[in-house]
């Protein structure tokens, strides 16, 4: 079977292409924590048991247009229930997906989900400020949790989420879809194998022009921040997982061209990060314009880049001397959902665990602190399982 992720840099059918494809798939599989076959063709990796049931909490745009379609492609998990504060939405989802009435909940009846054996996992797709509460309630109900990014509005909330899941002996993962995307996994391979030498500098940015001025993303009480919390976190994440390190120092600056629209949250931020190895990163994010969507990594022997880098589809890239980075697209949400279901079944930690989300929030808090003080901020010491 021809690989769905076949790299276009080698001729199909050649021994070189086969060896390259096999070696790459093994590395990508190791990064994902699953089998090479599942990475080469995630849609073909079928579970030999019943799928785990998942309930979506929050039926907004992301759940409707990305996660629900992804669940139609997953092999290890199925849409089993929904939670919403809007009765009309619940009725619509029931009709479209054939969800039993007993598996539908309001926010007031949410805790009754503990008595439902058909639901194994809860996916939190709510405004950022609600992530902590609904994750903790899910864990206390005996359910595993997949929570959208950012994990929460503060590192303290992240710590409480991790503690609640550990006390309940439930697994917790954060929706970092790019860590399951083949172009990003290929870049991770470049970084780990030092294909272009030791990383010396990374430039990453993600932004778009935000619309409706009344949406929750522009309200601090719900979003916790603006562009940085929403899409800047992708750039931050990329620097962290490519380097395999945590930043030691961060310096940041914010600008606003529309102080009325962005009175409560950030509009545009640029920041730099220094890592223990000496790696320097320059990042940017904005709600003011579209077109910033890139990841450029430079080693002392060459470079690799993705542009666009963080989209749901259409990601592509190139390198200084190893040809293009090109794979057939996958459904990133389906990949992350299936991976978490496998982690739950095997009772092991996800590579995008709550600890990963906490580390991002520690860095984000340092970025905001630098903006407030106008100074370079030393990031909190490296977090480990033993420090929580």
Q: Which residues are catalytic?
A: 149, 234
Q: In sequence order, what are the residues at sequence separation of 6 or more whose Cβ sits closer than 8 angstroms to the Cβ of residue 107?
A: 83, 84, 85
Residue closest to 214 by CA, chosen among 206, 203, 222, 202: 222
For residue 233, the number of C-alpha atoms closer than 13 Å in the C-beta half-sphere is 29
Beta bridge partners of 104: 82
Sign of CA dihedral 342, 343, 344, 346: positive
Please say whether the beta carbons of 268 and 207 come within 8 A.
yes
Distance in angstroms (rounded) separating the CA atoms of residues 80 and 387: 36
Beta bridge partners of 312: none
User: What would the DSSP string read from start to end of 286-349?
Assistant: ESS-S--EEEEEEETTEEEEESS-SSSS---EEESSS-EE------HHHHHHHHHHHHHHHT--
Residue closest to 231 by CA, chosen among 254, 210, 211, 258: 210
């Amino acid at each position: 079977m021809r690989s769905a992720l076949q790299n276009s840099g080698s001729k199909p059918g050649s021994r070189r292409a086969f060896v390259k494809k096999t070696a790459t798939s093994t590395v990508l599989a190791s990064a994902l924590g699953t089998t090479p076959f599942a990475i080469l063709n995630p849609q073909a990796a079928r579970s030999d048991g019943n799928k785990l049931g998942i309930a979506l909490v929050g039926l907004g745009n992301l759940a409707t247009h990305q996660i629900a379609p992804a669940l139609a492609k997953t092999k290890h998990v199925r849409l089993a229930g929904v939670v919403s504060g809007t009765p009309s939405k619940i009725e619509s989802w029931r009709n479209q997906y054939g969800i039993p009435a007993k598996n539908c909940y309001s926010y007031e009846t949410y805790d009754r989900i503990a008595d439902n054996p058909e639901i194994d996992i809860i996916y939190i797709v709510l405004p950022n400020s609600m992530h902590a509460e609904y994750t903790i309630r899910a864990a206390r109900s005996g359910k595993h949790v997949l929570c959208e990014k950012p994990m929460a509005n503060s590192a303290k909330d992240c710590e409480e989420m991790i503690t609640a899941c550990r006390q309940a002996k439930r697994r917790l993962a954060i929706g970092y879809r790019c860590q399951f995307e083949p172009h990003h996994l290929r870049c991770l391979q470049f970084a780990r194998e030092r294909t272009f030498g030791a990383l010396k500098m990374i430039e990453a940015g993600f932004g778009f022009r935000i619309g409706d001025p009344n949406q929750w993303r522009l309200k601090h009480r719900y979003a916790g921040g603006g562009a940085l919390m929403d899409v800047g976190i992708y750039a931050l994440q990329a620097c962290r997982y490519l380097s395999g390190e945590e930043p030691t120092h961060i310096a940041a600056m914010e600008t606003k061209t529309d102080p009325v629209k962005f009175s409560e949250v950030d509009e545009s931020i640029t920041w730099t990060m220094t890592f223990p190895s000496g790696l320097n990163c320059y990042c940017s994010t904005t709600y003011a314009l579209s077109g910033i969507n890139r990841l450029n990594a430079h080693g002392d022997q060459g470079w690799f880049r993705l542009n666009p880098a963080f989209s749901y589809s259409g990601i592509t890239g190139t390198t200084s001397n190893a040809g293009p980075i090109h794979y057939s697209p996958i459904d990133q949400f389906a990949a992350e959902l299936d991976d978490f279901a496998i982690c739950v079944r095997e009772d092991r930690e996800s590579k995008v665990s709550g600890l990963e989300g906490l580390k991002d929030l520690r860095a984000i808090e340092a970025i905001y602190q630098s903006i407030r003080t106008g100074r370079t901020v030393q990031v909190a010491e490296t977090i480990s399982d033993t420090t929580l």
